[in-house]
Structure 1
Amino acid sequence: MNNMDWKLLSSEYLHRDTWLTARRDKCETPDGRIVDPYYVLEYNDWVNGLALTEDGQAIMIRQYRHGLKQTLIEIPAGTMDDTDPSPAFAMERELMEETGYAFREIIPLGAVSANPGSTNNLTHMFLATGGVKVKEQELDDNEQIEIELMSIEALQQLILENKLLQSLHVTCVFYALQHMGRLQFK
C-alpha cells in the first residue's frame, strides 16, 4: 500500500473561539505537490445516543437549530467537555442534562466523522438502555429542549419520511438498531 499521508508544512490559526476554531494549513502531498491553503475546522469530539426507557421507548428531543432555522427532532447529543474523562462519561452527562434520565447500560457503537475533509473531530455513538427519569433537565442557557417518547417503529418511520435530519443522529440510530437486531424497514 502506498503512503498517501500529507506532510504538514505550516499551520496558522485564523479564528479561535469556544465553539469554532479555524486554521489554514500548508501541506505537501507524497508526490511533492503543495496544497495551500487547506482549511480545517477544529471541534471537540461529539457524542450522541439512542436512549431507551425501561419499557423500550426512544427518548427523543425537540429543539431549535439555528443553522437550518428549524425546530428539529433529534436524539440526545452534545459536545465533549475538556474535563470529560471518556466519550461514555460525556454521553452519560449529556443524557442526564438533556433528559433527566439515568440508564442501566450505555453501550458504545463506534465513532464516525461528520466531514473528515475539513473537520478534525469524531462523533462517538451510543445505545443507552433501561432509562429511568430521576430528575429534571439541567439545560445550558441557550438550550430549550422538549422530550418526546416514541416507539422504535415511530422512530423508523421518521427516518423513512426523512424527518430525522441530523445525519450523525441517523447514523447512530442505524448502528443502534443493528446492535438490537431491529434494522428492518417496511
Structure 2
Amino acid sequence: MSNLTWKTCSSTYIYKGPWATLRSDKCEMPDGRIVDQYYVLEYPDWVNAVAITEDNKVLMVRQYRHAANIVSLEIPGGVIDEGEEPHEAMRRELLEETGYQFDDIELISTVYANPSTADNKTFCYLAKGGKKVQEQSLDEHEHLVVEEYTIEEVKQFLADNKIAQALHCTGLFYALMKLGKL
C-alpha cells in the first residue's frame, strides 16, 4: 500500500476562540506537490452517550441548535474539558444535562465529525442503569428538555429521520448493535 500521508510544512493560526480555532497549513503531498493553504478547524474533543435508565428508558435531550436553526432531538453529550478524561467528561455531562448518575459506562466507538476539515473526535458511550440523583445543572447558554423513550421508539426516530445530529445517530446505531436491537 502506498503512503497517503501529507507532511505539514507550516501552520498559521487565523483565529483562536474558546470553541473553535481556524488554522491554515502548508502541506506536501506524498508525490511532492505542495498545498499552499489547507484550512483546518480545531475543536475540543466531544463525548456523547446512549443513556439507558434503570427502568430501561433511553434519555434524550431536546434543544435549539442555532447554526442549523433547528430544535434537535439528541443524546446527552458535550465538550471534554482540558485535562479531563473522556469517561469522566461523559459522567459529568450526563449528570449536568439529565440529573442521572451512571456507574456502567462503556466506550462503544470513537469517530470524527468531519476529518477533512476538523481535527476533533467524539467518544461515544453506552451508559446503563441510570438513577436520577439531582436536577439539571446546565451551562450558561444551555436550555434543554430531558425526554425518556423506549428503545423501540428511538429505533423509529432513526427510521423516520427524526434525529438530525449525525454523531448522535452514529452513537445510537453502535449502541443498538451492542444491545442486539438491530
Partner of 1:62 in structure 2?
62
**Alpha-carbon separation, structure 1, partners of 2:4 and 2:157:** 40
Within 5 A, what are the aligned runs for 1:40-51?
A: 40-51=40-51
Partner of 2:123 in structure 1?
124
Q: Counterpart of 2:16 in structure 1: which amino acid?
A: R
**1:124-151 CA deviation, whole Å, 9 max, x = no partner?**
0000000110001110010001110010
2:87 is the counterpart of 1:83: no
**Alpha-carbon separation, structure 1, partners of 2:103 and 2:7:** 45
**Alpha-carbon separation, structure 2, partners of 1:144 and 1:121:** 24
Partner of 1:139 in structure 2?
138
Name the SS of the counterpart of 1:170 in structure 2.
Answer: helix
Partner of 2:16 in structure 1?
16
**Alpha-carbon separation, structure 2, partners of 1:7 and 1:60:** 41
Partner of 1:99 in structure 2?
98
Name the SS of the counterpart of 2:105 in structure 1.
Answer: strand
**Alpha-carbon separation, structure 2, partners of 1:104 and 1:87:** 14
Shift >3 Å, 4+ stretches: none
- Structure 2: unaligned runs, 5 residues or longer: none
**1:6-45 CA deviation, whole Å, 9 max, x = no partner?**
1111100000000110000000001000012100000111
**Alpha-carbon separation, structure 2, partners of 1:55 and 1:147:** 15
- Structure 1: unaligned runs, 5 residues or longer: none
**1:27-66 CA deviation, whole Å, 9 max, x = no partner?**
0001000012100000111000100000110000011000
**Alpha-carbon separation, structure 1, partners of 2:96 and 2:55:** 21
**Percent of aligned pairs with the same amino acid:** 51
2:110 is the counterpart of 1:111: yes
Q: What is the total number of aligned residue pairs between the two structures?
A: 182
Q: What is the CA RMSD across the aligned residues, in angstroms?
A: 0.7
- Using the size of structure 1 for normalisation, the TM-score is 0.96
